[in-house]
C-alpha cells in the first residue's frame, strides 16, 4: 500500500493539517470536511476545531464520527451543519454530491453531477474514479492541503467525461 502521510508522529501530522487548512481557509470561508473529524477521539474534536481559523464547518459524517453523529455533550453545535450526505448545487445544472465514502453510482450521475468523497486516503495519482468522481481528501493534494472547490475541483471535474464506474449502469442509458 502506498504511504500518503509521511509523518514521524501523529502530532506532526495534525500540526501540518491545521496549519495547511489555516493557510488556505479564511475566517469567513466555508470548510467542507468529508468525515472522520473525530478520528483522534472525543477529547480531540473541540481541540482540533479550536485551532482552526474558520469556524464555518460543514461536516459530512465519516465512519469515525460516532460522537458527533450522536451529539455527545452537544458537540454538533460547533459545526455549521452535520449530515451523512449532501447535495450542493453550485451553478445552474451543476451539483456536487458529497459523501464520506466513494460510491459507484449517485444521484445526477448521468447529468454530470460531481461526486466528491474522502475515506480512501488516495494518493494524487489515484484520486480519480472513472468519470466525475474524486477523493478530495488532503492526502491526495500535492501540497497536503484542502482543495478549493470552485477554482481547483469544479473546473477540473467538468472537463472529465460523464461516465460510470459500473459496466452496465442504467443511469447512463440516455447518454
User: What is the model's pLDDT at position 169?
Assistant: 67
pLDDT tens digits for the chain (175 residues)? 344 567 888 889 889 999 999 999 999 999 999 999 987 789 999 999 999 999 999 999 999 999 999 999 999 999 999 999 999 999 887 899 999 999 988 999 989 999 999 988 888 888 998 899 999 998 888 898 999 999 999 999 999 999 877 766 666 655 5
User: Where are the domains positioned within the chain?
Assistant: 10-162
Full-model pTM: 0.89
User: What is the model's pLDDT at position 4?
Assistant: 58
**What's the CA gap between 57 and 79, in Å, rounded?**
5
Residues 146-174 as b/e (b if ≥16 CB within 10 A, e otherwise) read bbebeeebbeebeebebbbeeeeeeeeee
CATH number given to 10-162: 3.60.21
User: What is the model's pLDDT at position 145?
Assistant: 93
Write out the three cell numbers for 163: 461516465
User: What is the model's pLDDT at position 173?
Assistant: 59
Contact status, residue 48 vs residue 68, Cβ threshold 8 Å? no
User: What is the model's pLDDT at position 2?
Assistant: 45
User: What is the model's pLDDT at position 121?
Assistant: 82
Residues 6+ apart with CB under 8 A from 39: 62, 64
Give the β-pairing of 114-117 and 81-83: unpaired
CA 175 to chain centre: 28
Amino acid at each position: 500500500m502506498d504511504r500518503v502521510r509521511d509523518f514521524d508522529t501523529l502530532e506532526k501530522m495534525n500540526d501540518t493539517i491545521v496549519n495547511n487548512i489555516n493557510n488556505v481557509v479564511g475566517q469567513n470561508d466555508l470548510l467542507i470536511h468529508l468525515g472522520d473529524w473525530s478520528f483522534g477521539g472525543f477529547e480531540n474534536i473541540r481541540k482540533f476545531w479550536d485551532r482552526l481559523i474558520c469556524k464555518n464547518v460543514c461536516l459530512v459524517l465519516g465512519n469515525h464520527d460516532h460522537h458527533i453523529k450522536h451529539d455527545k455533550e452537544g458537540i454538533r453545535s460547533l459545526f455549521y451543519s452535520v449530515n451523512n450526505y449532501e447535495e450542493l448545487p453550485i451553478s445552474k445544472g451543476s451539483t456536487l454530491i458529497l459523501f464520506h465514502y466513494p460510491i459507484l453510482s449517485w444521484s445526477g450521475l448521468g447529468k454530470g453531477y460531481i461526486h466528491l468523497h474522502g475515506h480512501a486516503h488516495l494518493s494524487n495519482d489515484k484520486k480519480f474514479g472513472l468519470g466525475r468522481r474524486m477523493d478530495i481528501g488532503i492526502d491526495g493534494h500535492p501540497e497536503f492541503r484542502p482543495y478549493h472547490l470552485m477554482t481547483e475541483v469544479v473546473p477540473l471535474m467538468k472537463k472529465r467525461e460523464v461516465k460510470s464506474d459500473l459496466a452496465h449502469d442504467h443511469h447512463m442509458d440516455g447518454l
